[in-house]
Amino acid sequence: MAGKASPRIGVLALQGDFREHIASLTELVADVVPLRRPEEIDGLDGVVIPGGESSVMDKLSRAFGVAEPLGAAIRGGLPTYGTCAGMIMLSARITDGIAGQHTLDVLDTTVRRNAFGNQNDSFEIDIPMPDLGAEPVHAVFIRAPVVEQHGASVDVIGALPDGQVVAVQQGNVLASAFHPEVAGEDRFHRRFLDIVRRA
Ligand code: GLN
């Protein structure tokens, strides 16, 4: 996006909490648009994949013909941030997916869906993440996944006190198992926009 005044960010808006991401991003950058159709990918400088239900998002993104060109664009370097279901959509491998669930396969991780079970399926916790600054991140988990395994080129940005990995970055792809967009936490969106500006 070299030379452009303001990056254009697309938020995948087929399902889930895309409105919250659009609101968070609009605080930081002027040009934020919903992404629903394959022809809208061209001209984007970055993409956000929201939280929601990954199996539904997967089906809709394939039905709308967005999944394949979006995966190709991300593999080609398009900066991308996924939260929760968005993290699942990005992951190369998932455990406890529904039968036939696909992903965009752009992040070298194995992610377990609904990793915290029914007892503890939603919770909030402050997690130190030195990459994002001294202040811990207030992380809101809602039927969240965890990263069970990751390749050597994946950096861990955040983990729970028991060591379970919940935020990662691999090149231009950033992902968190929790929802900064509902917590008034803008440092993940800022980090994503830094990736966009450097790309
Ligand atoms: N459990 C959901 C899924 O599997 C993710 C939940 C969320 O995005 N808050 O897609």
Digit-coded pLDDT (tens) for 187-197 = 999 999 999 99
What is the reported pTM?
0.96
Domain count, the chain: 1
Structure confidence at residue 102 (pLDDT) = 98
Structure confidence at residue 151 (pLDDT) = 98
pLDDT exceeds cutoff 80 at 118? no
Q: Quickly state the pLDDT bin for 1 (edges 50, 70, 90).
A: low
The yes-or-no answer on residue 135 being catalytic is no
Tell me the per-residue pLDDT of 36-88, one tens digit each, with 9 for 90 and over: 999 999 999 999 999 999 999 999 999 999 999 999 999 999 999 999 999 99
Full domain range(s) for residue 181: 8-198
Residues 97/55, Cβ–Cβ less than 8 Å: yes
pLDDT exceeds cutoff 80 at 116? yes
In a domain, 1, yes or no: no
Residue 22 Cα to ligand 1 midpoint, Å, equals 18
Residue 1 Cα to ligand 1 midpoint, Å, equals 31
In a domain, 96, yes or no: yes
In a domain, 3, yes or no: no
Residue 41 Cα to ligand 1 midpoint, Å, equals 24
Residue 138 sits in a domain whose CATH number is: 3.40.50.880
Mean pLDDT estimate for the chain: 96
The CA distance from 175 to 64, in Å, is: 23
- Of 20, 21, 150, 181, the active-site residue reads 181
In a domain, 115, yes or no: yes
In a domain, 141, yes or no: yes
pLDDT above 70: percentage of residues in the chain: 97
Q: Which two tokens stand for residue 53?
A: 């239900």
The CA distance from 145 to 136, in Å, is: 20
The closest residue, in CA terms, to atom 9 on ligand 1 is 142
The yes-or-no answer on residue 179 being catalytic is yes
The CA distance from 45 to 146, in Å, is: 27
How much is the average pLDDT of 158-169?
Answer: 98
Residues 145/84, Cβ–Cβ less than 8 Å: yes
Structure confidence at residue 119 (pLDDT) = 64
pLDDT exceeds cutoff 80 at 120? no
pLDDT exceeds cutoff 60 at 6? yes
- Please list, residue by residue across 43-67, b when 16 or more beta carbons sit within 10 angstroms of its beta carbon and e when fewer do: ebbbbbbbbbbbbebbbbbeeeebb
pLDDT above 90: percentage of residues in the chain: 93
In a domain, 83, yes or no: yes
In a domain, 175, yes or no: yes
Q: Quickly state the pLDDT bin for 131 (edges 50, 70, 90).
A: very high
In a domain, 2, yes or no: no
The answer to whether 97 is a known ligand-binding residue is no
